[in-house]
Structure 1
Amino acid sequence: MSDSSTLPPVRLHAEAELARDALSTPLLSRAARLARWAGPDTRVDAGGALVDEQLPAAAEALGLSGDDAAAYASEAWRVAVDTGLVEITDEEKGTVAAGADLALLTGGSPHDVLQVWLGALEAVLADASVPDLGAVVDAMAEGGEVDLSSLGFDPEAEAEFLEGVLGNLYLLTVSEDGPGEGPVPLPALAASVLVPGDMAEPSNDVLQQVSDAMMRLDGQFRLLEPVGLVEYRPVDEALLTETETETETGTGEGADETAVPGDETDVTRYGLVRLTPLGLYGLRARLLEAGFAVPAVGELADKGADALLDGTAAFGPAAAQAETEQWLARREPLAAARELLAAARGSDGGAPLRRLRCQQALSLVGADAEPALREVLDDAELGGLARVWLTEHGARDVPAPSEAMVFWLTIDTVAAQLAAEGNSEELRALVEGLARQHSGFFGAAWRVGHPATADVLEAMGRLHPDKRIAKEARKAAFKARSQQGA
């Protein structure tokens, strides 16, 4: 994706709800508790980390025990420092005090809380992009200094890969044809980044790359879950043992040696990940900062009808309806209908899709909108749309449209569908139906004074499976274009 890419709109929870989620995440809540626990006697090293002697007390303050208690306490302390919950008051002495941002967690707005949480997220993402510390320690024990490239690790490449994975996870979550709030199998997520789109059958080499990436992502998502970005079901450890055993004994062969599921394998054993509502908020914030256009449902609710119709042009049907419902909820029905109809006028390239979105919006307005539709019955651009609405709502005394209006509305509708969906199966079916129902359609359609007539007829020529009818459509398109140029 380029920085100018526009992503599908996301439906975000209210900031107050997200802030409550942020405060309850294990990592941020631990960081806040340590910030309140710290006092005049708390000491840190030159890097701002708690000195080893104080880790047991920090773990105890968090109610942690066991082998990993000190590590969890150390991680929470790093987040407290990185987010400003703790400030180092004297670097030479290694003394600390509560940071200014600590008060935001209890006295700040929901937005303030979320900004602190975003700082915690950045800290954890940075940690998730570093190599296995065990490998680093072993290398240091052997040779002193560590060259990360000698460990086969490229920090920039690792961070870029994780960014790509999270970007795809966001896109899968917000896309209308994606899993939505459901979990994504880890193999599918890794493959979405590594397997070329034009590769029909992944090679063994690509499958091995996917398998290796899954193992890295397994560790990274385990780190990202405590900060509330994801809910994660880890890779089954028994599966890893089975894979290692097969490799050692030589029973695995080819793609079977990789930890990638086959068609009949229980995919849940290979890890499942889903973005939380808080995670959606966090990734959207990061994408916005990176320069992407990342719309959110509800952003157009207080804007004019022109902004609504243009803004929802690229939305999927469900997102467009959700946005429109929020827009209508703030307006009186008759006034809203009049505003929508006024914004739908125009002869520019985006006008047909605006009128389609207008028609869809008006379908959500009740009978109170009828006067607005009757007011445009004689309008060349809106008269056909108005008749459709009035008829569907059971209105009486709806005048029949002229043949010219019927053809104009047909061209306008196909142009809108082309803009919304491209060469979809639904549009192909519409084109076939039009040609079947009107034997002289192309002979009359090329004369329609609609700016998109030639483009629509050319598209019908591409889409219709009958070569004879497709040829008629192309001839009609040529006539229409000649008429426009005359």
Structure 2
Amino acid sequence: MSAEPHPTLPPVRLHSDAELARDALVAPLFARAVRLARWAGDDTRVDIGGELVAAQLPEAAAVLGLDVADADSAVHASRAWRVAVDTGLVDVTEPEEDAGEGAEGADGGGEESGTALPGEDLALVTSGAPGDVLDLWLAALDSVLADAAVPDLDDLVDALDAGGEIDFDQLDWNPRREEDFLDGVLANLYLLTVSAGGAADRPVPLPVLAASMVVPDDMGEPTDAVLQQVSDAMMRLDDQFRQLEPIGLVEFRPVDEELMADADDEPAASGAAAGRDDADEDVSRYGMVRLTPLGLYGVRARMLEAGVEAPAVGELADKGADVLLDAVCAYPESAAEAEIEAWLAGREVPAAVAELLDAARGDDEGAPLRRLRCQQALAPAGPEAEPAVRAVLDDPELGGLARVWLAERGAADVPAPDGAMVFWLTVDTIAAQLAADGETEELPLLMETLTAHHTGFFEQVWRVEHPATAYVLEAMGRLHPDKKTAKEARKAAFKARSRRP
């Protein structure tokens, strides 16, 4: 996967290594590769490149339980053998290209053949740790992805010149370009998955995925030429995902061939290709794909190798509270809650709460959201957290948070906050909400409630010693539903700006 600049992705929720390893072992293509590796022996013969000689493909197909009479059985056996070789499950000794003409190979021809035996890595399938199995599967994935980027046989035959050589200009095939295209498709599929909550449970229509690779972001109505490119990309992806499904990367519903062959369906096909919802046809007939849990793991592993930041829920469990709060500020709320829960698990509550509160301090731009995430982290804590929370009651930055936490639990002897703390907490809360969710529909209602319950609100709040005071007041000036109050907010924002150096 090519390393190009990417923003930090939302965190993904991965299954455990043990669960993923089990998924890898039952992936049809990987399981076939293992069976062929166990079958390999002294009588196994290979040709240049480590491929099984043609005469042994029927036997290999029979070992896999395939119907030898089926013309595709040799293709399936050859593909599984190639994965076994590429992953090191099989060790091959290729024939020398200049072997003597008189030597007769195992296929009955006049060329010398090489040999193949089970590789050392085959033992890892049964005796290795889950991580060892996953490393083998990742190698198998690389092999399958490389094959998927190669044009299909019909295109190769059409590109043969008079001398039987492939005319690459006619084929218009650039290996690096094809690999980058497929990497980009998988990256987009990964992003669509993790943006929907990090679980591989929602299939993506193939037209939408193809359009994400072809249609420019700033294009309104796609042109006919762009629609044709999307349609071509759909058919290309249809073939590629058929190849990727057996390795366990995706679950795939192919394009309905009858639908695509019917000329009367061309308008619906164009609508689906553009990703429009107004197409009358069921978009699923144009193909649906989703990453499996194993696929999420595999694509993320390739992204990490390419230098892309692709966090996973739970990987901050051994980090400090400062690292945790900084990271979860960029996470969707559900992922932030899961990451915090994983961080708290196994820690002594009093010490963990004290560490979180200490990390929540600060007057930098990100501090309000850190305090909000800290408050969320403290929400499930029980009575054992109370001493650490009470310890910050007099802290100017954390005292309001501590009072809210104690009051919600009906704690006794909670000192009432003074006016300065109330207004400071108000500014901090709105700043955190703006940082977390932006200008949501709920925020104006919150602002209206706050101003309604505090007489002379703006006369007080512009004096608050908080770095975000002017920023919050400017937001209130834009968002407050009452025009007169919004005007007061803008005046207060100007005063707050004027008093800062």
TM-score bracket for the superposition, by shorter chain length: over 0.9
* Structure 1 residue 331 displacement after superposition: 1.8
Paired residue secondary structure (1:226) = helix
CA contact (8 A) 1:442 1:473 kept: yes
Residues 156 and 90 of structure 1, relative CA distance in 2, 3 Å threshold = closer
- Aligned-partner Cα distance in 1 for 2:198–2:444: 24
* Structure 1 residue 268 displacement after superposition: 1.8
Aligned partner (choices 211, 214, 221) of residue 194 of structure 1: 214
Aligned partner (choices 383, 388, 395) of residue 367 of structure 1: 383
Residues 380 and 24 of structure 1, relative CA distance in 2, 3 Å threshold = same
- Aligned-partner Cα distance in 1 for 2:259–2:269: 17
What amino acid is the match of 2:159?
A
* Structure 1 residue 255 displacement after superposition: 3.9
Equivalent position of 2:237 in the other structure: 217
CA contact (8 A) 1:176 1:318 kept: no
Equivalent position of 1:416 in the other structure: 432
CA-atom RMSD, angstroms?
A: 2.4
Q: Is 1:121 equivalent to 2:141 in the alignment?
A: yes
Equivalent position of 1:77 in the other structure: 81
* Structure 1 residue 64 displacement after superposition: 0.9
1:335-354 deviation digits (Å, cap 9, x = unpaired): 32222112211222221111
Equivalent position of 1:67 in the other structure: 71
Residues 277 and 428 of structure 1, relative CA distance in 2, 3 Å threshold = same
Q: Is 1:476 equivalent to 2:492 in the alignment?
A: yes
Equivalent position of 1:17 in the other structure: 19
What does residue range 364-403 of structure 1 map to in structure 2 within 5 Å? 364-403=380-419
- Aligned-partner Cα distance in 2 for 1:43–1:431: 77
What amino acid is the match of 2:255?
V
1:328-378 deviation digits (Å, cap 9, x = unpaired): 221232332222112211222221111100000011212332222222111
1:408-447 deviation digits (Å, cap 9, x = unpaired): 0111112212222233333344334434444532222111
- Aligned-partner Cα distance in 2 for 1:115–1:273: 24
Equivalent position of 1:441 in the other structure: 457
Residues 40 and 259 of structure 1, relative CA distance in 2, 3 Å threshold = farther
- Aligned-partner Cα distance in 1 for 2:213–2:442: 30
Residues 406 and 156 of structure 1, relative CA distance in 2, 3 Å threshold = same
CA contact (8 A) 2:350 2:384 kept: yes
- Aligned-partner Cα distance in 2 for 1:396–1:205: 71
Q: Following superposition, which runs of at least 4 residues in structure 1 exceed 6 angstroms of deviation?
A: 256-261
What does residue range 52-451 of structure 1 map to in structure 2 within 5 Å? 52-65=54-67, 66-92=70-96, 93-140=113-160, 142=162, 144-176=164-196, 180-243=200-263, 255=270, 262-438=278-454, 440-451=456-467
What amino acid is the match of 2:89?
L
What amino acid is the match of 1:88?
V
Residues 84 and 224 of structure 1, relative CA distance in 2, 3 Å threshold = same
Worse-superposed segment, 253-262 or 52-61: 253-262
- Aligned-partner Cα distance in 1 for 2:72–2:280: 37
Aligned partner (choices 39, 42, 57) of residue 40 of structure 1: 42
Paired residue secondary structure (1:274) = strand
1:215-237 deviation digits (Å, cap 9, x = unpaired): 11111110000000001111112
Worse-superposed segment, 53-62 or 474-483: 474-483
CA contact (8 A) 1:352 1:413 kept: yes
What amino acid is the match of 1:151?
L
Identity, % of aligned pairs?
65
CA contact (8 A) 2:145 2:244 kept: yes
Equivalent position of 1:27 in the other structure: 29
Q: Is 1:49 equivalent to 2:51 in the alignment?
A: yes
CA contact (8 A) 1:204 1:254 kept: no
Residues 183 and 5 of structure 1, relative CA distance in 2, 3 Å threshold = same
What amino acid is the match of 1:199?
M
Q: Unpaired segments of 5 or more residues in structure 1?
A: none
- Aligned-partner Cα distance in 2 for 1:256–1:4: 30
Paired residue secondary structure (1:447) = coil
Residues 259 and 360 of structure 1, relative CA distance in 2, 3 Å threshold = closer
Q: Unpaired segments of 5 or more residues in structure 2?
A: 97-112
Paired residue secondary structure (2:45) = coil
Aligned partner (choices 6, 9, 24) of residue 8 of structure 2: 6
What amino acid is the match of 1:46?
I
Worse-superposed segment, 350-359 or 85-94: 85-94
CA contact (8 A) 1:9 1:296 kept: yes
1:151-178 deviation digits (Å, cap 9, x = unpaired): 3433333222221111111011111468
Aligned positions, number: 480
What amino acid is the match of 1:358?
C
1:241-295 deviation digits (Å, cap 9, x = unpaired): 213x667xxxx69947979774332122111111111000000100101111111
Paired residue secondary structure (2:331) = coil
- Aligned-partner Cα distance in 2 for 1:353–1:285: 30
- Aligned-partner Cα distance in 2 for 1:167–1:253: 27
1:64-109 deviation digits (Å, cap 9, x = unpaired): 1112100000001111111111122354241222222111111111
CA contact (8 A) 2:268 2:281 kept: no
What amino acid is the match of 2:443?
L
- Aligned-partner Cα distance in 1 for 2:281–2:148: 29
What amino acid is the match of 2:12?
V
Residues 31 and 272 of structure 1, relative CA distance in 2, 3 Å threshold = same
CA contact (8 A) 2:329 2:436 kept: yes
Paired residue secondary structure (1:206) = helix
The TM-score with structure 1 as length reference comes to 0.92
* Structure 1 residue 468 displacement after superposition: 4.6
Paired residue secondary structure (1:330) = coil
* Structure 1 residue 179 displacement after superposition: 7.9
* Structure 1 residue 303 displacement after superposition: 2.0
